[in-house]
Structure 1
Amino acid sequence: MFNIHSDSRLHRRLFIRVPIALLAVIAVLISIGCSVQLSPAYDQATFTSISDLNVKTETLLASLSRGGTAGDFPKYKVTYDQLIGGFSAARVATASRDVPAPSQRLLGISHLNGVCGNDPTNCVNPTPHHLEKVITLLTAMRDTHQQGKLAGELVAGFNGQGGFKGQYEIEMSRILVFETALQR
């Protein structure tokens, strides 16, 4: 037999549940269809170049872990020049990447200066900033080596902590983490 009261309750429940379900489906579809890009696009060539430079730099640091003299500097000069030049080229390439429009709006937020430093683009494209630190570090190491003052502790640090190697790895890890994240 047909019960008018149970049919009415069913309609009320459907009237409430169907719109909620539709809103949930619409929200999911919108979130899938819309994505806001805040950082530059991933570039495989840039990532490969930086990774190759990293291997060469780690090799240099390993070969100089006991230090270097002014007498053996000529043996390493070409390597220093290639690394400093390579990282400089990577810095120029990453600094010239397009920053997406939503990021440009974020750059106008004044309180980001405390986080991003003097240049707010460091928040949305930090790689050039960290590459500049790598260049400065390798230049200082080269100059110290050329002067014959590159002690092993300056390269490897004390007890494996700090030194040119430690500082280099801090900056390089920041670069590689960011560049890898762009791939997603």
Structure 2
Amino acid sequence: MQSWARASLADPSGELAVAGEAPRDWDALLSWWDEQRAGLVGELGGDPDAPAWLPFGEYPPTVGSLARRQAHEAAIHRLDAIIAGRGGVSMVTFDPEFAADGVDEFLTMLLPSRRTEHQSEGSVLVHATDVDRLWSLRLEPGTRLRSADPEQPFEPDLSITGVADQLYRALWGRPYRAGIVGDRSLLEPLRAP
């Protein structure tokens, strides 16, 4: 993932944004990973408005967008590693603002950029209680997921409520303690890629 991100920074047009092949030897691979990580951290530290290629149409094609995507990708995979090690899941708590940003990125950028259409119909309300943020979504058959008009109040068919950390986990399909009330079939189009 880091070599792909570096290729995206090196070629903002996306025409040549192909990651180099990783070494097959374990020791060489570990060194290569370290080089990719260090290089990416340095490259993402530049101008956030500089161009970068992203395959998601909803994202502005900038270094800042790529940095945001990489931060949430790394956070979720960190959680995966902890879960795989079977310990400490409850010991890891994401900062409320960071987790809320991850919820926002997932609902407003990643899901709408999916090329697949769903067959669900209904409304979803996601509420991060600790940072007092709301996301309203409308699902209509044969369309992509879209945000509901904030000026139009509605009674949600499905509500997902909790602290931002738990919503972040729930939306990415990791163990969570968020409250889910209503038509659970509406979770399907919200499933993480």
TM-score, normalized by the shorter chain, greater than 0.5: no
Structure with more contact order per residue of length (Cα contacts < 8 Å, sep ≥ 6): 1
- TM-score, normalisation: structure 2: 0.29
- More helix per residue: 1
Larger Rg belongs to: 1
- More strand per residue: 2
